Structure 1
Amino acid sequence: MRKPVLTIFYQFNPWNATIGGIQTLINTFIKYAPSEFQVRLVGTGVDPKKPVGKWQEAEFAGREISFLPLFTLQNDNVRNLIPTTLKYTAALLGRDFASDFMHFHRIEPTIAAINWQGEKTLFIHNDIRTQIQATGNKKAILWRRFPAAYFALEGLLVGQFSQILSCNTDAAQLYKQRYPSLQDRVAYIKNSFDNEIFYPLTEDERIVKRKELASRLGVDEETRFVLFAGRLHPQKDPILLVRAFAALNEPNVHLLIAGDGELGAEICAETAKLGISHRVTMLGALTQEKLAQIHRVCNAFVLSSAYEGLPLVVLEALGSGTPVVTTECGETPKLLTKDSGVVCSERSPACIADALRKVLLHPADYPTQSCVRAAKPYAASTVVQQVYSEMWNRWEQRASTVAVRV
């Protein structure tokens, strides 16, 4: 029996230092793919000198895959004048990448796939209703300007999917309500983090590594660290985070910002305006391994988002033994326990600062074991392998049906 083929579609390059939960999830699906599957990725290229539009054999995370870059995209962390999703969709038109299994992480590219044969799965990463209705920067998501057009497009395309999987329970319920004829295809799926990369240190090891980090940054060795990691994008609202950190007003606490994006210059300007530049370090885009090292030594992780699904970076922080402070959005408030983090009742600098102060001044109330325990159900070694197991069962059932007919 030949191997079933899984083709994953998304506008990124896994060998680049890319930022985002979708990219991280796809990387995890590649890494944990069983040998029984042939895995293909249709993504983007980084080097303009290398050819695009052709399949190439490659290795990622120790796994052999087939990779096809549709076009060159040197930095997918910053939005361009023409949305990357639009370019990616246009590049798919007229092609046929039909496979036994196809995974899509945005609705727009599936315009090209509507007549492709095979089992198609759409992953929903945000509560789209909250995402479109959110106030603030209209440029944060183009569809916020045209919500009716988005839902009309979605209505035309969702019928092609065998599965619609959401990491947000509210979003899953919304899809069941919007498309009652498809409700049997809609399900909640746990987001998953790579527990082989994100794991805790002992308390003694954490103290030593934290002092080493303080030394590298040229700050006092007793400095406590707060980490933000993610795209510097209006959805994540890092400007609110910076203002909250200023309101915290704890001189022996340092903010680390890991990520890249369009708000980078604005963040630097805001920290200068608030007089806290010396207590904020911009780390830029980091690999998973380097980010994991930072997670393991920080005293708190903070998320100031306006809307979310279930951000992988929260699971990565908890899996590293680090408590989480989050705004009340997405699935995070539902998984945090009282001894693994704090949910802010308001998206305001004062409220986030108070929550951070609570975690930083009372670390014994948020022990490593509690954080790890909250993340454990989301470990990739369990979640992703379960998804592949179910895919394999469906593949065998279809093969058996074909054999009987023959």
Structure 2
Amino acid sequence: MLKVGVIGAGAAGFFAAIHLSNQHAEVTILEKTSKSLAKVKISGGGRCNVTHAALELNHLVKNYPRGEKFLKKSFQHFAVKDTIDWFESRGVKLKVEADGRMFPISNDSESIIRALKEEALKKQVTIKYQFGVIKIKYNSRKFELSNGKETLTFDRLIICTGGNPKLEGFDFIKELGHQIQPPVPSLFTFNTPTEPIKSLMGIAMPDAHVKLEGTKLSYQGPLLITHWGISGPAVLKLSAFGARWLAEQTYKAKAHIRWNASWTEESLVQDISRFKIAHPKKKVSTNPLFGIPARLWEHLVFRAEITEADLWNEISKKHLNRLIQNLFCYIVAIEGKTTFKEEFVTAGGVCLNEVNPETMESKITPGLFFAGEVLDIDGITGGFNFQAAWTTGYIAGKHADQPNSNE
């Protein structure tokens, strides 16, 4: 019987292990800590954002800043509908929220953890905790794994160690001949320590547009002002697509905010002109337009150098243009980042041109497979990283115990 080792007891590791046929393989998961599925447990505030209701393949792949082409092939074997069916067939019903995120109807990540652990038990998967792999030797088509005290030997190996913030965290993979795309943070909020906008913390706009100056990188969606800067889905998703560029800029850049993504400069000019004619004697500062919260409107007005006492029929064309500019293109200086809650994601990992997307097998080392965030794949927030873990784990598991594996 083949011996298959799986490094990492996270989502991808469990899914890979339980899709190995127990008729063909003896499966052991090696976990460096004393716990399994830790990220599953805390995801989504303890509810576990299992996947996203992006059922169309072309829509699904657009949510991966890195790995889109690779995953387009992989998702043909296991995608969102397959994830839903897999969990629901094991008694875990899922629900779709307004933004497309999917959670167990129990609102408890333990439902997901229980399903995975029960399946692993049924498949007779062994889990060896506190076994941190520090060295892998590939001899005579066998993998010798050492934690410094003990050595285990496997016929096949699936690496599911997740992302790592440091390049040296991939050293044992580089020793197997693979190139690593250096890791950089993804999914973070923008710090704006010198900007007065921080005083408006707690204000949210439901559909803003945020663009990084000097690039084509932009995203639209909910935006939140915090005591350290700007956050919300629009910023988090923009940080993912701009992860490498922002790292190169040492997280110093400028963001252009359009407080409502549907606005044009022309529509703002027309709407304000109509209001000005209809209400000439009203104060500009105390009559918010376009559904903008009063505190934010007041800030935008004062930033345009319009005084608290100014009436609509008193403001000059210059000040009116400044107000429109603040509405349409409010510029903030980014100086630093803050990791978003527990959603630690890195961009980087095993170079995808060295892995077969149809099998997850290494093109360099026969019998070696990869799954999850150890690959240079990452998605935006909303369940996409878990979907990539389920997909790549499933494919790796289905192929790692095949007698005709690439040898």
- TM score, norm. by length of structure 1: 0.29
Structure of higher RCO (CA pairs closer than 8 Å, 6+ residues apart): 2
Structure exhibiting the larger radius of gyration computed from Cα positions: 2
Bigger proportion of residues as strand: 2
Bigger proportion of residues as helix: 1
- TM score, norm. by length of structure 2: 0.29
